[in-house]
Amino acid sequence: MIQLPADVFVHSDERPWVQMGEFGGSYVKVLYADKETNTTVFLYQLAPNSTFPMHEHLCTAIAYTLHGNWAYGDISLRKGSLAFETAGSSHAPETWETGFTVLTVFIGKPGQEVLLRSQDPETLEVGELGIDFFIDLMTAKGADGVGDKH
């Protein structure tokens, strides 16, 4: 085996589930985030019968469905489905009775400040997430204040 200094090995049970802002039923578990490559890998869960606010990817986003069923409008995804989204794609994922869990990879350009942009539908406030957000979440306290939410 050839192991390089930049290789990383992660046990997901050692990372916390963290609620995404004040949006109930939306959790993220960051497995890896690297500022130099502007890449992050995370698990994302959305509760049953929920819609995450409209957002735009300013990076390449790859989402592999591990559990559940969900949709972007007329596009339905299920366990085993892959969504490969190029920079500029905008959507609002919605779930039904199962909710979903996806493994997600964001790949930004080196030095790119913003990976994801959203706008609150009520206040019209724009939110922007960059790699530092995901780096901070890797060691954040979990949804229950201590560790894994499960």
What is the CB-side half-sphere exposure of residue 82 using CA atoms within 13 A? 3
Give the span between the Cα atoms of 71 and 128, in whole angstroms.
23
What pLDDT, on the 0 to 100 scale, is given for residue 52?
Answer: 81
Q: How confident is the model at residue 142 (pLDDT cuts 50, 70, 90)?
A: low
What pLDDT, on the 0 to 100 scale, is given for residue 146?
Answer: 39
Q: Tell me, letter by letter, the H, E, C secondary structure of 82-110.
A: EEEECCCCEECCEEEEEEEEEEEEEECCC
| 95 located within any domain | yes
Can you give the residue range of the structural domain that contains 30? 17-138
What's the pLDDT tens digit per position in 54-106? 789 999 999 999 999 999 889 999 999 999 999 989 888 899 999 999 999 99
| 34 located within any domain | yes
| 2 located within any domain | no
Quote the Cα angle for 61-65-67, to 5°: 150
Give the span between the Cα atoms of 133 and 35, in whole angstroms.
10
CATH code of the domain in which 72 resides: 2.60.120.10
Does residue 149 register a pLDDT over 60?
no
Does residue 132 register a pLDDT over 90?
yes
The count of domains in the chain is: 1
| 6 located within any domain | no
| 11 located within any domain | no
* CA dihedral of 80, 139, 16, 119, whole degrees rounded to 10: -60
| 62 located within any domain | yes
Does residue 121 register a pLDDT over 80?
no
| 145 located within any domain | no
Does residue 139 register a pLDDT over 60?
yes
Q: How confident is the model at residue 141 (pLDDT cuts 50, 70, 90)?
A: low
What pLDDT, on the 0 to 100 scale, is given for residue 20?
Answer: 81
What's the pLDDT tens digit per position in 12-65? 999 999 988 666 788 999 999 999 999 999 999 999 998 887 789 999 999 999
| 105 located within any domain | yes
What pLDDT, on the 0 to 100 scale, is given for residue 27?
Answer: 93
